[in-house]
Structure 1
C-alpha cells in the first residue's frame, strides 16, 4: 500500500513537471513576428528651376498625387533656383524622386549609381520613337538675316556674339548646343581645339564675346528678349507655356515665336516680343529619376506600374489636351495623340554621354 502511494506520488510529480515545462520548450522564433508599420514618411520630389515656378504648381501636384496614391505616402516638393541643388539632392540621398534632363540625370548617376531612371514621356505614338524635345538657338526677330546664307540658316556668325546658355548641367540648354558648336567650328583651324570649357566664359580672345547663364530655360530666353545677349540656347517644352508659334514650322530653323499677352513670370513685361529659331536639335526626352537606395523594390515596381498605367496616360492634368491648355492650365506635358510614360534603362541615355 505504501509502495503504491509512492508510485502514485512520483507519477503526479512527473506529469506536473512535464506540463510546467511545455511553454519553455517552445522556441521563441516560432512566435509570429509583429507586422511592420507602413512607411508614411514624405516622398521628397526635387524639381529644376524650369518647373519650380508658381504657375507650374498644379502640374507638380498632379504628378505628386499619383505618387502619393501609389505609395500611400505624402509627397513634399523641393523646388529650386539652381540645377545643381536638385542634382545634389538626389546624389546625396536627400530626395527620392526628381524630374531631370538627360544631362542632369547622367551627372547625378555618376555621383551616385543608385540614382536611376524611373520613366520618361513617350513620343506622340506612345513609344520611344520620337521621344524627343528640341534644343533651340534663337535670335530676336529682325536679326535672323545675320545667320543666313543664300536663304539657309547657318550658325557661323554666332562666334563673337553675346551668348546665353541655361546651366552647364542642362542637356538642351548647354550639353547639346555646346557639342553642336564644337563639332561645327572644330573643322576650322582657329577653333580645332575648342572645348565646352572654352564656351563658358566670354572675352576678346574667346569664342563668345560675353556669356551668360539664365539659370533656367525661361531665364535664358529672357536674356535674349531683354537684349542682354544676341543669341540664346533654350528648349521648346520649357517655354511653350509662355509663347506661341506665329510663323513657320515648329522646331525648325526660321520658326517665329511670340510671347503671349498673358504670359507669367519671367515674361510678363515682354508680351508681344518675337524671336526666331536659327537652329533646332532633337534631344532625348527628360526622365523622372529615382534614388533606389531610398525606395524599396516593391515601391519602385508600384511606381512604375502606376505611372505607366492607362489611367495616368489619360490624366488631363498630367498629359494636358489642347482644350485644357487653352483654358489656362500650365502642364508638364501636352497630349497630342498617344503620349504616356514608359520605363527605360540607364543605357537609354548613352547618346548623351557620348557627346563631347
Structure 2
C-alpha cells in the first residue's frame, strides 16, 4: 500500500513538473517576441540615445519584434548578460567578445564596422596612452616619450575587459617592462592593482571615464581609445593617432567632459586595434532572427542613416562617424583570432 501511495505521489509530482515546464515554454515564447540588446557604458549615455533608438527601430522593423535596450554602467555586466543568455545582441569590444564566446560558444559575431574604404582591411581604431600636455616632459627621455617614465605613476585603465582600454595597453606595458630584471615577472593582474608597477590604478568604467580621470588630475597617465572620445575632442597639433598629437576638449563638450572643457592631452603611444563587433547569442536569438538582423545591419539603409553614421562635418553625436565608405560588414569569429592569441 505504501508502495502504491509512493507511486501515486511521484506521478502527481511528475505531472506538476510537466505543467511547470509547459508554463516556462509559454514564458520563453513571450521572451522570444522581444530582442534584448545590451550596451556598454560607453554607449549607454544620453548622447547615444538617438543612435540606440534608430538601431532598435530598424531591427524591430526587420524582425517584427520589439527591441529592448539594456543600458549598463559596467563592462562585466554587459558581458555577463550576453553570455548568460539574458541578451540577444550587444555592441562589444573585441576582448569582451572573446571572453563571452569562451564562456558560451553560442555567442558569435554578426557584423563589424568597416574602415573608411568600406572593407575589412582598414577596419581598425586606436588604443591611446595619454598624458596631460603641461606634464608631458615628465614622460620623456632625451626629448622622446618613454614608457620607463610611467613606473610609480597613477594610471587609469577603462576596464579589464576592454580591448583598447586594457588588453592592448597592458600587453604593450608588459612587453616593455619585462625587459627589465625588476619587472621580468610582471603580469596583467599586477597592472590591475597598486604595485608593483603603478602607485595607484584606477578604472574609468568607460573610455570617457578614463580620459576624464586623466584630465581631472586623478591619474597621471590614461588608456582610452580614439573613437570613444572623438565627439568630445579636437586635434590641435600633430598628426592624428600618432605619438605627440595634441587633443583639446571642445568648449561645448557634454558630460562627462563638460567638467574638463578646454583641457589638453598629448599621446605617448597609439596602437591600432581591430574594430569592435556586434555580437549575438545564437541560443537566445535563433538563426531566423540572426539572418534578419544581419541583413539590416549590413544594409545600405543602415550605412546611410545619419543617426547611426554621422557625417564627418556634422555637429550631431552618433555611434559612428562616416568619413568615407564606412558601413557594417558581416564578419566571422576567426577574424578576431589575432586578439584571441594575445589572451593565450
Do both proteins adopt the same fold according to a TM-score greater than 0.5, normalized to the shorter chain? yes
Matched, 1:218 2:218: no
Query: What does the per-residue CA deviation read over 1:82-138, in whole Å, with 9 as the maximum and x for residues that have no partner?
Result: 001110100111100001000110111111110001100001001111101111000
Matched, 1:280 2:267: no
**1:161 Cα shift?**
0.7
Q: Structure 1 pair 156/100, CA: closer, same or farther in 2 (3 Å)?
A: same
Residue of structure 2 equivalent to 1:70:
62
Residue of structure 2 equivalent to 1:246:
236
Aligned alpha-carbon RMSD (Å): 1.5
Task: Give yes or no for contact 2:32–2:285 (8 Å, CA) kept in 1.
Answer: no
Distance (whole Å) between structure 1 residues aligned to residue 145 and residue 231 of structure 2: 26
Matched, 1:343 2:330: yes
Residue of structure 2 equivalent to 1:87:
79
**1:38 Cα shift?**
10
User: Which blocks of at least 5 consecutive residues in structure 1 are unaligned?
Assistant: 1-36
Matched, 1:353 2:340: yes
Task: Give yes or no for contact 1:120–1:286 (8 Å, CA) kept in 2.
Answer: yes
Residue of structure 1 equivalent to 2:170:
178
Task: Give yes or no for contact 2:138–2:149 (8 Å, CA) kept in 1.
Answer: yes
Secondary structure at the aligned position of 2:254 is classed as coil
Decide which of 153, 160, 166 is 1:168's aligned counterpart: 160
**1:274 Cα shift?**
0.6
TM-score, with structure 1 as normaliser: 0.86
Of 143-152 and 334-343, deviating more is: 143-152
Runs of 4+ in 1 over 4 A off after TM superposition: 37-40
Give 1:8-23 correspondences, 5 Å limit: none
Distance (whole Å) between structure 1 residues aligned to residue 262 and residue 60 of structure 2: 40
**1:322 Cα shift?**
2.2
Q: How many residues align?
A: 315
Of 47-56 and 153-162, deviating more is: 153-162
Give 1:1-356 correspondences, 5 Å limit: 41-203=33-195, 206-323=196-313, 325-326=314-315, 329-356=316-343
Secondary structure at the aligned position of 2:266 is classed as strand
Secondary structure at the aligned position of 2:138 is classed as helix
Task: Give yes or no for contact 2:35–2:285 (8 Å, CA) kept in 1.
Answer: no
**1:39 Cα shift?**
8.5
Distance (whole Å) between structure 2 residues aligned to residue 307 and residue 98 of structure 1: 13
Task: Give yes or no for contact 1:46–1:79 (8 Å, CA) kept in 2.
Answer: yes
Query: What does the per-residue CA deviation read over 1:25-73, in whole Å, with 9 as the maximum and x for residues that have no partner?
Result: xxxxxxxxxxxx9987221110000000111100111211221111111
Query: What does the per-residue CA deviation read over 1:214-254, in whole Å, with 9 as the maximum and x for residues that have no partner?
Result: 11111111111111110000111111111111111111111
Distance (whole Å) between structure 2 residues aligned to residue 309 and residue 335 of structure 1: 15
Task: Give yes or no for contact 2:157–2:210 (8 Å, CA) kept in 1.
Answer: yes
User: Which blocks of at least 5 consecutive residues in structure 2 are unaligned?
Assistant: 1-28
Task: Give yes or no for contact 2:309–2:319 (8 Å, CA) kept in 1.
Answer: yes
Query: What does the per-residue CA deviation read over 1:312-339, in whole Å, with 9 as the maximum and x for residues that have no partner?
Result: 121111111124x32xx21111111110
Secondary structure at the aligned position of 2:324 is classed as coil
Task: Give yes or no for contact 2:37–2:69 (8 Å, CA) kept in 1.
Answer: yes
